[in-house]
Chains A and B, each alone.
Chain A
């Protein structure tokens, strides 16, 4: 499909609103992406015409909802190239997925003095569940360090690997800096010593193709709301053998085969990990979100976002006193920086007054901030509907903030 910026922007109703009388310039896509009309319609349709619980009723509405729910599983399996749809588990998103794997797999197969390798770039959601596990079972957490560009040091990673390494859990793309990590190589090394590999795909799914078989990971976690679907949707891919081996974490309805007070047997994966009524409209919204991404196409998405990243880097580099935080050679659409003399939090407020929405803070990645010795950064993160005009508006707002603080 040829890339038509206007027709893409037209699909996002929020882009039509104004903020403080200015056109909304939404550059906080690493926090959450805006939702296209097709996603909003799917959610609305479920709530206004298709409301029913899934996997149980024999009435028409329940059958329709179940059918759509399972079609989202098929769509998601295809999207990440999982061999079968039963390797896709739906949860509320990446954070919940990582907690389930830490509790389920970690609780069953990680013991005292075992080791878990994470990276310095991880979001708190890929740190804290492992720390909680470490407190419970007495395992150790080892960390892959980064360099000044915000790239992982793979030779140290190889040195960290040893027979006690049970899990390697790393993000595909850093949320704070945009660094694209060499996950295929990391998973390959992990597999060689028999460690479980987990990839946090949160920041990758809407920007680059994610193929679990090519990556060679055992688990991949993702959040729907960072790939144009509803908040509270998402899940994880788990390799068939891993899902069969991993015990369930939450008990309840929908995850059992039979229940008696003497003995309960569990449903097969993925259902044994899906206790209770899920976020049905959220899961239903994944199908149109995936369709949207596929219709635009990853080659167009990558070309567009890469061009914008280059334009943004060039444009903002001309601003006096701007210091980049993390300039990895392989980087997704994230511009992370500090401006001399203006705290990022003040910058966030001043930019908001110009209609420009960016994230300012530690981005739930405090170890990254500690490495660069800053309390916070300003982060502009890109999506398919962003334009050069958005970058120009950001640059204009930054200069205006400098005038206020001059």
Chain B
């Protein structure tokens, strides 16, 4: 177990928590889904505009802990403009990373700054906080109206 908070609560994560990007409703969106973690109350809505298999726009609403909000905010930045296949690939890598199955330091990946969530697997009760919006994104892609991490 890490002994320092700063490994989990890095400045970038705290900054995204304070000022989440792409926050708000996307009127007339093509896809949307609701994600809820009943354990801690994290509650997120993901809105997508998908055209020609590309995520043209992505926004989110809701409330949650810093890990959840920062993860969601950074996810929207990472996935905007990606094809559905590219987005699913990044989801797979992120998912493996938060479970401790992909180590950005040695394994190939396209996670960019999202790699800062690499220590989260050391905090098992917080993995779902980081993963909720990603599951909700996939739910939106698959036209599932709601996703629960419990």
Contacts and interface: CB of A to CB of B under 8 A. Distances in A.
B126 A349 contact: yes
Contacts of A310: none
A375 B63 contact: yes
Interface in A19-73: 20-21
A291 to B, nearest CB: 35
A361 B37 CA distance: 11
B97 interface: no
B41 A346 contact: no
A20 B1 contact: yes
Contacts of B8: 349
A330 interface: no
B66 A360 contact: no
B65 interface: yes
A345 B40 contact: yes
B41 A405 contact: no
B14 A404 contact: yes
Given A361-B41, A369-B41, A375-B41, A404 B63 contact: no
A131 interface: no
A361 B126 CA distance: 13
B1 A346 contact: no
Contact of A345 (B6, B14, B129): B129
Interface residues of A, number: 19
Contacts of B129: 345
Given A346-B65, A346-B67, A405-B66, A375 B9 contact: no
A362 B41 contact: yes
A375 B40 contact: yes
Given A21-B3, A375-B63, A361 B40 contact: yes
A20 B14 CA distance: 22
A20 B7 CA distance: 14
Nearest to B6: A404
A349 B123 contact: yes
Contacts of A342: 66
B64 interface: yes
Interface string B1-38: 10111101100001000000000000000000000000
Nearest to A360: B40
Interface string B61-77: 00111110000000000
A360 B125 CA distance: 11
Interface in A370-391: 375-376
A140 B49 CA distance: 44
Interface string B132-147: 0000000000000000
A369 B43 CA distance: 14
A146 interface: no
Interface in B82-115: none
A350 interface: yes
Contacts of B1: 20
B67 to A, nearest CB: 7
A279 interface: no
Most buried by A among B1, B64, B65, B67: B65
Nearest to A342: B66
Given A346-B66, A349-B123, A404 B41 contact: no
A404 B43 contact: no
A353 interface: yes
Contacts of B123: 349
Interface string A326-369: 00000000000000001111101110010000001110000001
CB-based closest 10 A-B pairs: A375-B41, A343-B65, A345-B65, A345-B40, A346-B66, A346-B65, A376-B41, A353-B5, A404-B9, A404-B5
Interface of B: 1, 3-6, 8-9, 14, 39-43, 63-67, 123, 125-126, 129
Given A350-B5, A353-B4, A361-B39, 18 more contacts: A20-B1, A21-B3, A343-B64, A343-B66, A344-B40, A345-B41, A345-B64, A345-B67, A345-B126, A346-B65, A346-B67, A349-B123, A360-B40, A361-B41, A362-B41, A376-B41, A404-B5, A404-B6
